[in-house]
Amino acid sequence: MLFFVSLGNRAVRRYSKRIQDSVGNVAQVVSEIITAHRIIKVFGGHATEQVRFGKVNDYTRKQELKLAIINSLVSPFVQILVGLSLGMIIYVAAQGMFLDAPMKAGEFMAFFFAFAGLKKKRSHFCLREPRTMYCRGTGKQR
């Protein structure tokens, strides 16, 4: 399970980096075309620049599609694994396998809400600034 998730995360990071680079290339090509439009007109480079822009834009589109495929494969798998593990934990708690008797309704609800409160997202505790991260209550900068 962990292997598949880490493999998927690596692929997402790889394609995200490629997309960032290709968007930068698109911006560079557009900037060159805009700043040198007179030169392009004079020397008849319209077709050449159109092909160049098409290639860069096509590469970006392909990378976006690959990223969408990876996300569509990894995300449901992770959700299923998380659901199964939560179901197993709740089943074990409800059956009282590690206790003398099964839990009562109130004990089960207390366990369930305590379990749900264990994992809070980091975004609830930290403020993300452009270049730094300040965590509430700690006074620390990450």
Q: What is the full per-residue pLDDT of the chain (142 aa) written as tens digits?
A: 677 778 888 888 898 999 999 989 889 988 988 888 788 777 888 888 889 889 999 999 999 999 999 888 888 888 888 888 888 877 877 777 666 777 778 877 887 787 777 765 544 444 444 444 445 555 555 4
Cβ partners under 8 Å of residue 44, min gap 6: none
pLDDT given for residue 55 in this prediction: 92
Could you tell me if 26 and 56 are in contact, meaning their C-beta atoms sit under 8 angstroms apart?
yes
Among candidate residues 31, 33, 8, 26, the one with its CA nearest the CA of residue 62:
26
CA distances from 102 to 84, 114, 122 (A): 21, 18, 34
CA distance 14 to 12: 5
pLDDT given for residue 1 in this prediction: 65
pLDDT given for residue 43 in this prediction: 81
DSSP reduced 3-state for 44: coil
Spell out a b/e string for 56-81, using b for 16 or more CB atoms within 10 Å of the CB, else e. beebbeebeeebeebeeebeeeeeee
Neighbours of 40 (CB within 10 A): 17
Sole residue written with tokens 């007179």: 38
Residue 2 phi, psi (nearest 5): -65, -35
Segments of the chain assigned E as strands: 126-128, 133-135
CA distance 133 to 136: 10
Structure tokens at 42: 């004079």
